[in-house]
Amino acid sequence: MKILAVTAALAVSAATLSAHHSYAAFDREHPVTVEGTIGRVIFANPHVVLTLDSGGKTLSVEWGNLRQMDRSSVNIDTLKVGDHILVTGAATRDPEDKRISLITDIQRPADGWHWRPGRSGVGF
C-alpha cells in the first residue's frame, strides 16, 4: 500500500511540474513579430516580462528566466521603459489573450542591439 501511495504522489508531482511549463496555449507553428514601446520591465523569476505598447494594445512578452538572461548578458539595465523594440515569438492561440512567449528574437533599432537565445549585443 505504501508503494502505491508513493507512486501516486510522484505521478501527481510530475504532472504538476510539467504543467507549469506547458506552452500549449502558444502557436509555435506561426511566429509573429510585433513592434512597440516598452511600458514596463519586470526582471524577476519565473520569467522576465515586458509589457509592450503596440498599435493601441498592450501585450505581455514572457521572456526567459533570470539564469537564461545572465547567460545572454542581459540584465535589468539592458532594456528600459520607453525603448522601441521588435519582438519575434509565439502568440497565444486565443486572440483575446495578449501574450507572446517562446521569444526567438528581440531588436532595438535605435542602437542596433539584438538578442537571440544565448547571445546579445550590437552587430552580431
Domain ranges in the chain are: 24-122
Residue 17 pLDDT level (bands cut at 50, 70, 90): very low
This prediction has a pTM of 0.74
Domain range 24-122, CATH class = mainly beta
- 55-106 pLDDT, tens digit each: 899 988 988 889 888 888 889 999 999 999 999 987 776 777 677 877 889 9
Do β-strands 57-62 and 119-122 pair in parallel, antiparallel, or remain unpaired? Answer: unpaired
- 26-63 pLDDT, tens digit each: 666 778 899 999 999 999 988 899 999 998 999 889 88
What is the distance between the alpha carbons of residues 20 and 47, in angstroms, rounded to a whole number?
12
Q: Which stretch of DSSP H or E encloses residue 8?
A: helix 2-20
Q: Would the CA dihedral through 51, 38, 27, 106 be positive or negative?
A: negative
Q: Which stretch of DSSP H or E encloses residue 72?
A: none
Query: Residue 72's pLDDT is what?
Result: 85
